[in-house]
Amino acid sequence: MDDTATPARARPNLASVAALAGVSPSTASLAFSGSGPVSDATRERVLAAAAELDYAGPDPRAQSLRRGRSGIIGVVIEDRLRDAFRDPMNVAMLDGIADETGSLGAGLLLLTENGEGAASIRNAPVDAVVLIGCSTSLAGQVAIFRQRGIALVAIEAEPMDDVLAIDLDNREGSQTLARHLSDLGHSRVALVTLPLDAARSRGPLTEAAIGASTGYTALERIRGVRGVFPNAPGVMAAASSIEEGLAAGLALLSEAGNRPTAVIAQSDLLAVGVIRAAEQLGIRVPQDLSIVGFDGVKLDGIAPYDLTTMVQPAVEKGRAAGRGVIALLNGEHPQPVSFVSRFHPGTTTAPPSPQ
pLDDT digit string, tens, across residues 136-189: 566 677 778 888 888 999 999 888 888 999 999 999 999 999 999 999 999 999
In whole angstroms, give the CA distance from residue 40 to residue 26: 16
pLDDT score of 5: 46
Q: 322 with 244, same domain? A: no
Verdict on whether the full-model pTM lies above 0.75: yes
Q: 199 with 214, same domain? A: yes
Three-class DSSP category at 192:
strand
Alpha-carbon distances of 90 from 3, 79, 318, rounded to whole Å:
60, 10, 9
* Mean of the per-residue pLDDT values of the chain: 85
Query: Among 74-78, 161-165, 223-227, 230-234, which stretch is predicted with the lowest mean pLDDT?
Result: 74-78
- With respect to residue 26, please indicate whether it lies within any of the assigned structural domains: yes
- With respect to residue 85, please indicate whether it lies within any of the assigned structural domains: yes
pLDDT digit string, tens, across residues 185-220: 999 999 999 999 888 899 999 999 999 998 899 999
Answer whether residue 259 shows pLDDT above 70: yes
CB 21 within 8 A of CB 28: yes
In whole angstroms, give the CA distance from residue 246 to residue 151: 39
- With respect to residue 7, please indicate whether it lies within any of the assigned structural domains: no
pLDDT score of 33: 60
CB 274 within 8 A of CB 308: no
- With respect to residue 2, please indicate whether it lies within any of the assigned structural domains: no
> Domain holding 208: CATH number?
3.40.50.2300
pLDDT score of 1: 45
Q: 254 with 333, same domain? A: no
- With respect to residue 28, please indicate whether it lies within any of the assigned structural domains: yes
Q: 45 with 86, same domain? A: no
Peptide bond into 345 cis (omega under 30): no
Q: 148 with 176, same domain? A: no
- With respect to residue 8, please indicate whether it lies within any of the assigned structural domains: no
Q: 225 with 271, same domain? A: yes
Q: 201 with 128, same domain? A: no
Q: 306 with 334, same domain? A: no
Answer whether residue 90 shows pLDDT above 50: yes
- With respect to residue 163, please indicate whether it lies within any of the assigned structural domains: yes
Q: 178 with 154, same domain? A: no
Answer whether residue 323 shows pLDDT above 70: yes
Range of the domain at 51: 14-58
pLDDT score of 118: 45
Three-class DSSP category at 208:
helix
Mean pLDDT: which of 27-36, 149-158, 240-249 is highest?
A: 240-249
Q: 184 with 282, same domain? A: yes
Q: 105 with 142, same domain? A: yes
In whole angstroms, give the CA distance from residue 290 to residue 292: 7
Number of domains present in the structure of the chain: 3
One-letter identity of residue 320: A
One-letter identity of residue 242: I
- With respect to residue 5, please indicate whether it lies within any of the assigned structural domains: no
Q: 76 with 162, same domain? A: yes
Answer whether residue 334 shows pLDDT above 50: yes
Long-range CB contacts (< 8 A, 24+ apart) of 85-88? 86/241, 87/240, 87/241, 87/267, 87/269, 88/295, 88/297, 88/298, 88/299, 88/314
Q: What is the mean pLDDT of residues 95-108?
A: 83
